[in-house]
């Protein structure tokens, strides 16, 4: 019996997350500047909220190889959004941070995303939105444990 319930849960989860990701991601992507990829958006957000971030840390978070993240970061450096700073303690370590232009781009994008997503969230109400987000955050934590 539990197997049938779990099957239902998995099917409903897949269906709901597929529709949310497909439709909302599409709307968000349409609202982004043409030169910003979803990975670059994640990096802008992550660098805005964290200090002393390395390429390896980003590669792990995005589940991509180091060569892939190096390529993405290089494009962001060329656009003037990110700067690489060698560690004072270990020259092999390079930290990434946002430039002023990266910070401005981040602010513009965040405002755009807010205006895209807010109408949907307001329709379900704050209480349900917080419940939903809490569940997503918990799933995210469980997934992150797999990386450790």
Q: What string of H, E and C letters represents the secondary structure of 17-75? A: HHHHHHHHHHHHHHHCCCCCCHHHHHHHHHHHHCCCEEHHHHHHHHCCCHHHHHHHHHH
Query: What does the pLDDT look like over 80-117, one tens digit per residue?
Result: 999 999 988 888 889 999 999 999 999 999 999 999 99
Q: What percent of the chain has pLDDT over 70?
A: 97
Question: What CATH number has the domain bearing residue 53?
Answer: 1.10.10.10
45 and 72 co-located in one domain: yes
CB 82 within 8 A of CB 72: no
Task: Indicate whether 23 and 74 sit together in one domain.
Answer: no
**For residue 2, what pLDDT is reported?**
63
pLDDT value of residue 125: 93
pTM value is 0.76
Residue 88 pLDDT: 87
Residue with tokens 């958006």: 41
pLDDT score, position 147: 63
**pLDDT 10s digits, 3-28:** 889 999 999 999 998 998 888 888 88
Show Cβ contacts of residue 61 under 8 Å, excluding neighbours closer than 6 positions: 42, 46
Count the domains in the chain. Answer: 2
CA 65/CA 63 separation, integer angstroms: 7
What backbone phi and psi angles, to 5 degrees, belong to 124?
-95, -15
Q: Are residues 4 and 51 in the same domain?
A: no
* Whether residues 1 and 43 fall in one domain: no
Say whether both 16 and 48 belong to one domain: no
Identify the bridge partners of residue 98 per DSSP, sorted by sequence position: 82
- State whether the Cα torsion 117-133-62-81 is positive or negative: positive
Say if residue 47 is in the same domain as residue 106. yes
Domain residue limits at 26: 1-31
pLDDT of residue 1: 52
pLDDT, tens digit, for every residue of 126-146? Answer: 999 999 999 989 998 888 787
Could you tell me if 72 and 99 lie in one domain? yes
């Amino acid at each position: 019996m539990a197997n049938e319930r779990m099957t239902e849960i998995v099917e409903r989860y897949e269906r709901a997350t597929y529709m949310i990701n497909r439709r909302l991601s599409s709307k968000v992507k349409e609202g982004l500047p043409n030169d910003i990829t979803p990975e670059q958006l994640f990096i802008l957000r992550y660098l805005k909220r964290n200090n002393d971030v390395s390429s390896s840390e980003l590669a792990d978070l995005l589940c991509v190889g180091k060569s892939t993240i190096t390529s993405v970061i290089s494009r962001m450096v060329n656009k003037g959004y990110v700067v690489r700073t060698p560690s004072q303690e270990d020259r092999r370590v390079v930290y990434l941070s946002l430039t002023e232009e990266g910070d401005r781009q981040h602010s513009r994008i965040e405002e755009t995303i807010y205006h895209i997503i807010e109408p949907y969230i307001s329709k379900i109400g704050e209480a349900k939105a917080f419940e939903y987000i809490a569940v997503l955050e918990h799933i995210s934590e469980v997934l992150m444990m797999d990386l450790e």
